[in-house]
């Protein structure tokens, strides 16, 4: 079980729980086709954004497998919400998890996602005691693949046309990192 002491702070970010007041900020990036291109969902309309806020405000701890820790990425100087990051506890028996992230495109290319995702890896390995954490993505999402590689994750699989998403067969890439690799510094901390 992991109930982190929130908010978390990295060098340039505050990772905090979502609140109902984050609706407009979440909508501002999750409503963009270029942001959701490689995600399972279409661009959010207002109803989808409200439903998402209702979900993410409750995702503040990992109490049992299947739980999701979903945090807002905020710039401390301005309080601006620029994206979100998550850690999923996928298996207690096998001590496994998964990370994910979404960023407002106005803040792309500045290393924010790598910084926030590194903190999720730390929580998973050091806080929850996971053995293995994966990152799964549409294989066409080269920007996300670069993030996972910067975190020290290795590409373990390229699954050909394994999912039918948004009317087309898509390939999935799977990256992973083991706890001993994390401890050896593979995440480039």
Q: What strands, in cross-sheet order, belong to the sheet with 154-165?
A: 8-9, 14-17, 68-74, 81-91, 96-103, 132-138, 168-178, 154-165
The pLDDT of residue 189 is above 60: no
Helix ranges (DSSP H) in 82-141: 112-122
pTM score, whole prediction: 0.94
Domain with residue 25: its CATH number is 3.40.630.30
Number of domains comprising the chain: 1
Question: pLDDT class for 185, splitting at 50, 70, 90?
Answer: confident
Which tens digit of pLDDT belongs to each residue from 107-161?
999 999 999 999 999 999 999 999 999 999 999 999 999 999 999 999 999 999 9
**Is 108 domain-assigned?**
yes
**Is 141 domain-assigned?**
yes
Range of the domain at 147: 8-183
CA distance 119 to 132: 15
CA distance 88 to 59: 10
The pLDDT of residue 36 is above 60: yes
**Is 113 domain-assigned?**
yes
**Is 189 domain-assigned?**
no
Averaged pLDDT score across all residues of the chain: 96
């Amino acid at each position: 079980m992991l109930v982190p002491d929130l908010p978390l702070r990295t060098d340039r970010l505050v990772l905090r729980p979502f609140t109902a007041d984050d609706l407009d900020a979440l909508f501002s990036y999750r409503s963009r086709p270029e942001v959701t291109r490689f995600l399972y969902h279409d661009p959010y309309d207002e109803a989808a954004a409200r439903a998402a806020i209702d979900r993410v405000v409750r995702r503040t701890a990992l109490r049992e497998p299947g739980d999701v820790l979903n945090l807002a990425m905020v710039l401390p100087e301005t309080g601006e919400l620029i994206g979100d990051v998550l850690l999923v506890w996928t298996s207690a028996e096998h001590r496994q998890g998964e990370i994910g992230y979404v960023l407002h495109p106005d803040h792309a290319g500045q290393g924010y996602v790598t910084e926030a995702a590194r903190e999720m890896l730390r929580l998973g390995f050091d806080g929850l005691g996971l053995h293995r954490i994966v990152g799964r993505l549409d294989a066409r999402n080269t920007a996300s693949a670069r993030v996972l590689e910067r975190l020290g994750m290795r590409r373990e699989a390229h699954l050909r046309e394994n999912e039918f998403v948004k009317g087309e067969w898509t390939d999935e890439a799977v990256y992973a990192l083991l706890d001993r690799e994390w401890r050896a510094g593979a995440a480039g901390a």
